[in-house]
Structure 1
Amino acid sequence: MTRLLLVEDDAALVGILELTLPAHGFEVHATGLGGHALHVARTFQPDVAVVDLGLPDVDGLEVVRALRALSDIPVLVLSARDTQHDKVGALDVGADDYVTKPFGMDELLARLRAALRRVAPGDRAIVFRTDHLTIDRAARRVERDGARVHLTPTEWGVLEVLMRHGGRVVARHDLLREVWGPQYVDEAAYLRVYVAQLRRKLEERPATPRHLLTEPGVGYRFEP
C-alpha cells in the first residue's frame, strides 16, 4: 500500500477519499489541522501528501513549505482557488501539482500516479560532472561545489527529461506532457516556475545559465 497523508478539514471529502483511495492501493492517514500535519508526517512517514490550502488553523501553503523542508515526497495541493497566481504560489513553495476543487476521482488518481512515477528510480546510471556540479541520475543525487542539493520530485522530473535529450531542444508541450501529463500541455507557467527553481539550485549564474537553456518560443534544453 502507498502511504498517503491527507491534510483536509472537509469531513465529507475526507470520508469519500478514505473510502475510495484504499481500493486503489493507498493507505490514508488524514488530519484536518495543518499544525498537526508535520507530526503525522514524522510518525506515519507517507509516500505522498495531499494538502488543502483552506485549513482552519494555518495557511495550507505553510504546510506545503514545512513538508517540503522535511521530505522530498510528492505533495499535491487541493484548493477551490483557481487563479494562476494561486497555482504558481503553491508550486513556488514546493508543491508538485495543483488540483482544483471540485475534481473527479479519476483525475486525482491519475495525478497521484504521475507524481509517484516521478520519484521512481531512473534506469540509466549516467553521471554528469563539471568542476562545480555533479548529477547522478541513477542515485537521483545532485551536488554543487561538494554540497548536496535537494530537488523536489517534479524538479527531478524536469531535469531528467532535459538530460535524457541532452543537447536537443524539448518543446514546452512535450516537457509538460512527459512530466505532468497530457492535461497540462498548455500550463507554460508550471515550466517557468520549475526551470527558474532549477537554475537557482544548479547554475553558478542563474540569470545567465550555462546548462538549462531557453529556446525562445520553443522550449528548453540541457547543454552538457
Structure 2
Amino acid sequence: MPNERLRAAMVTAGWTCATLAAEVGVDPKTVERWVSIGRTPHRVTAVKTAEKLGEDVQALWPALAHARRARAANAELVALYGQRAELSVTAFVDLIAQAREHVDMLVYAAVFLHEAYPGLNDLLRERATKGCAIRVAVGDPNSANIQQRGREERFGDGIESRCRLAAMHYSPIARTPGIAIRQHGTTLYNSLYRADDQMLVNSHVWGVNAYSAPVWHLRRHSKGGMFDTYAESFEAAWATAVPVREG
C-alpha cells in the first residue's frame, strides 16, 4: 500500500523523490518504492529521512517500532529483531537495491524472498549490470546436514523441497554476467544477507524455524569486527559450494 503519510510529508517539506534520495544517500527509485508501495527503509536511513522531513520516524514507518535499537552493545550492531517475521521483505529488498559493490546471500532456501517479491531476479540482474557482484548460495537438498536440519525443525522433507525450489527460482540467472548461484551442504548456523557494508544475520535456533529466530542488522565499522566474522563465514561456505545449473 502507498505510504500517504510519507507522500504528504515530502510535499509539505518541498522534497521530490530525486532530491530526498540525494540528501539521504539512496537511489531515487528506492524513495519511489517507499512512497508508492509502502516499503520500509533500514532504520538508519529512515531516521535520517525523518529528520530531513521534520517528522517522527515511527509515524512515517510504524513497522520500525518493532525494531529494538542496539545500545552500548557493539558499534556494528544497528538493530535487533526478536524474529525474522518482524521484518517485512522490503527490508531485504531495499538492502539489495542499495548495494553498489557486493550482494552475498548464504541460506538454505529463503524462498520467502521470491514468494513475497517476484521481481527479485530482475533486481539482481539490474544490480549486476551496475557492476555489483552477486553471489547466492542455497542449500543442496541431498546434503545430510540439510536433511538433519529438516528433522530438527520438524519440517520433514519440506526443507529439502524448499531448497530445490530455491535453486529453481535462481537458475534462470545462474549464467548472468556478474551473478553466481551455488549450492552448499554446510551446517548453517546463520542465514546471511549482505549488501556492501551492511548485513542482516538470521540466527538459527535448534528446533525453531528461521522466521521465528532473531535477526540482527550489522553495519561494518572496523576491520576484524562482528561484520567481518560473518563475512569470513560466508567465504568459507562459498568455497565449498558448487554452481547451480542454468534453468
TM-score computed with the length of structure 1 as normaliser: 0.29
Q: What TM-score does the superposition give when structure 2 sets the normalisation length? A: 0.27
Higher helix residue share: 2
Structure with greater strand share of residues = 1
